[in-house]
Structure 1
Amino acid sequence: MLQHIQQLLDNKAIMQNPSKRSPAIKFIPGIAWFFLILVLISLPGSNIPTVETWLNDIYFDKWVHAGLFGMLVFLFIYPIYKKMVLPLQVKRNWAIKIAIAAVIWGLTTEFIQKFFIPDRSFDIYDLAADTAGILVAYNWCRVKYL
């Protein structure tokens, strides 16, 4: 057993090419972004500054939602499209699954805010903004990488 581990450690090709290690390492940015969203939606409403400027006029909050969830989808789809050797149809299927999972995550965050976070509520327009960001990121990746 120890000899096998030593052989793995001595294999310089694997050590020099991190992409041959674990495919999971490619998803660390997406996982980190997922937890960032969790932290942000878990902030009590009293801790979030109110914006009484022109940012209200352009629905800044909704743009933030779209950006957060769009980036989440991008960070999970990009490694599949660019860094994994898979048939094209498999990549497309994974991208669709990621987009659907992100919409479900957006819906879940709204329920978390409604039932568990003080001074926060369920907002259907936040969910719509989340979904819009998801669709933009999904379609951008589909057009750019396929």
Structure 2
Amino acid sequence: MHKLLVAITASFFLFIIWIIYLANTGQSSVFFDLVRQIPYGDKLGHFSLFGLLTLSFNVACKFKTFVLGELKVFWGSAVVLVFVSAEELSQHFMPSRTLDIYDYAANVTGIIVFSWLSSVMARRTST
């Protein structure tokens, strides 16, 4: 079962990489068209994609944590936060993209909310 979860996480991550590639190269996609049809679709997309990626990474990492000060941080959440930060900052250097603090805020909010959900799931699976 764990191998299946890792495969799903890897596939979802590759899907996100593909979406980023399309955006970086200025290509169109049915996903982009769909997002434009939904009010705040871009922000909801950022929140959902990176939130779900966080949850799947945390599950795939078996809810492993490390301590940062007095805070327990999931490894999966940390990996996604570093990836998201690098990806958003890289947009500053791409002519076809726009660095947007609100996109980054939606990403981080998704990471936080789905990290909380991960902690609920971790507690339930440990009992």
The aligned residue for residue 121 of structure 2 is 144
Q: Root-mean-square deviation (CA), in Å?
A: 2.5
Structure 1 or 2, whichever has the larger Rg, is 1
Q: Structure 2 residue aligned with 1:104, among 72, 79, 82?
A: 82
Structure 1 unmatched runs, 5+: 1-18, 82-90
In structure 1, how many angstroms separate the alpha carbons of the residues matched to 2:83 and 2:3? 20
The aligned residue for residue 73 of structure 1 is 54
The aligned residue for residue 29 of structure 1 is 8
In structure 2, how many angstroms separate the alpha carbons of the residues matched to 1:111 and 1:97? 21
Which has the larger helix fraction?
1
Q: 1:92 to 1:124 in 2, by over 3 A?
A: same
Detail structure 1 runs of 4+ shifted over 6 Å in the superposition.
none
Q: 1:76-95, aligned counterparts within 5 Å?
A: 76-79=57-60, 80-81=62-63, 91-93=64-66
Q: 1:114 to 1:41 in 2, by over 3 A?
A: farther
On the 8 A contact 2:58/2:74 being kept in 1, the answer is: no
In structure 2, how many angstroms separate the alpha carbons of the residues matched to 1:78 and 1:95? 13
List per-residue Cα deviations over 1:15-57 (Å, max 9, x = no partner). xxxx5xxx66541111111111111112134524483x5x33x
Give TM-score scaled by structure 2 length: 0.72
**1:113 CA drift (Å):** 3.2
One-letter code of the match for 1:142? S
The aligned residue for residue 132 of structure 1 is 109
One-letter code of the match for 2:6? F
In structure 2, how many angstroms separate the alpha carbons of the residues matched to 1:145 and 1:97? 13
Which has the larger strand fraction?
2
One-letter code of the match for 2:90? I
In structure 1, how many angstroms separate the alpha carbons of the residues matched to 2:18 and 2:73? 25
On the 8 A contact 1:99/1:138 being kept in 2, the answer is: yes
One-letter code of the match for 1:38? I
Structure 2 unmatched runs, 5+: 67-71
